[in-house]
Chains A and B, each alone.
Chain A
Amino acid sequence: MLIKKRSDIRASDITDEALYLRRREFMRVAGGAALLAAAPPWLQACSAGAVDDTGAGAAAPAGQSPLSNYTPRVVATDEKLNTFDEITSYNNFYEFGLGKGDPQRYAGRMTTSPWTVKIDGHCNNPADYLLEDLIRPHQLEERIYRLRCVEAWSMVIPWIGIPLNEVIKRAEPTGKASFVAFETLQRPSEMPGLRQRSLNWPYVEGLRMDEAMHPLTILSVGLYGKTLMNQNGAPIRLVVPWKYGFKSIKSIVRISFVDRQPRTAWSEATPREYGFYSNVNPNVDHPRWSQARERRLPSLFARHTTQMFNGYGEEVASMYAGMDLKKYY
């Protein structure tokens, strides 16, 4: 895949994905697998309760469908994966409550089908897309990424999704689009956490256009070979592996091309603690704790050294060349 240079997108910092995939030793392109999957029938393949062949240990719980036609390990790591159970039982999703177990407990009642994503703002093809229509034209890929939470814990998660830049290119942003804003579903009848004024709902996030176009940035629709559980942000969520987890907004209903840095939920709630960029950075502490190390769950000890840009510096650092990352935290 080649990202075409267009005047309306600052492409100067974007790595050619083909080149980039070849470059890193920890990334393995599964040869030929992409050819097998000419038309990813990603939702047609539904059959509830299918046998789990991922080693995750459990058959797909009700409401989850297996995803078959994805290219495995497009980006991968040698690190040990977290289990399906860990990934789906320990979540921050304040729409369902503040406790880490609340999303698993309460997210089940969220209706995710049908699901529409509104794409609007400065682009030539604004539309309300049904989820299927948004995903189907693209090849699903498995991306095994580290997830570093701002709370100093981390996991390794085998996401399945599509590069966000493919969706962006279809929308054809205009020259005015310099940021992309995202919005989470806000549905009080299904989200008990909305009653708490913990954040200014709906949850909103944003990326600079070059960050959104970066080949590592994906829209995820599944993990461990199955569609996402609600607590992980079903049916579609962002994953930006070099930023703290809260940037990877869940259950997206709107993607907007905007000309100004959009407001983001956490930097609005406590601007001193959470900035717009929120790149993983061991040298910039959170006011209440150090970010130098992290606890790779479920380990007891926080002995894992946190890496700059969560270890994706080689791919992304150039986007921030010359920026004072202490100021733009």
Chain B
Amino acid sequence: MIRFARPVLFLAALLPLAWLVFAVLTGRASANPAEDILLTTGIWSLRFLLASLAITPVRRITGWHRLIQYRRMLGLFAFFYAVLHVLSYIAFDRFFVLGEIWADVVKRPFITAGMTAFVLMIPLAVTSTRGWIQRLGRRWQLLHRLVYVSAVAGVLHFVWKVKVVIGEPVFYAVILAVLLGFRVVWRLRRSGAR
């Protein structure tokens, strides 16, 4: 069963995209398919990001150490959906007008946060290969702590985007807080034990 876990996870992670393509092509999307694409890719990027952050705490609590094999894939899917999300924003919302995109990034905190989350993902995706892991050694660990900043920026982006009912983004914020909370507690314990 474990043998098939990777390909199954891989295919499952493509399901949101498959559904989007299917819905848009067959007229099952809303009257505003661009919005469907933008929101679906955004939320799945965030979900994969949080899933990748959940691997370490779940391993430590359950002792299921093999989970580590899936962390990179989850992180890369977060990046994959973020790329689709940002591209659909650039094409559909801003119609490729670079000046407008820049104006959005500097003027609108929710876009600034989204851009921060996205830009920080780029070096992480690039250095996710075995070659880079070996080349960077201990610095790789340090570099990949940027994922915490990216996730915080991603959640902020979601919170600031919402109009009046912030229940859903707060739900994701709480999950992120718990995931980061584990790390803080472990770090405190370790330094306390010394």
Contact = CB atoms under 8 A, between A and B. Distances in A.
Contact of B31 (A86, A196, A198, A287): A86
Contacts, number: 64
B105 to A, nearest CB: 12
A155 B31 CA distance: 10
B180 interface: no
Given A288-B108, A288-B161, A290-B104, A297 B95 contact: no
A303 interface: yes
Contacts of B108: 287-289
A152 B91 CA distance: 15
Interface in A11-63: none
Given A288-B110, A293-B95, A302-B95, A100 B30 contact: yes
A197 B165 CA distance: 8
B contact patch SS? helix
A270 B95 CA distance: 28
Contact of A303 (B33, B35, B95): B95
B91 A301 contact: yes
Interface string B86-111: 00000111110000100110011010
A298 B95 CA distance: 15
A270 B163 contact: yes
B92 A89 contact: no
A contact patch SS? loop
A298 B165 contact: no
A199 B92 contact: no
B34 interface: yes
Given A86-B31, A197-B165, 19 more contacts: A100-B30, A101-B30, A269-B164, A287-B108, A288-B108, A288-B110, A288-B160, A288-B161, A290-B104, A297-B32, A298-B32, A299-B34, A300-B91, A301-B34, A301-B91, A301-B92, A302-B92, A302-B95, A303-B95
9 contacts: A100-B30, A100-B31, A270-B164, A289-B93, A289-B108, A297-B32, A300-B34, A301-B92, A302-B94
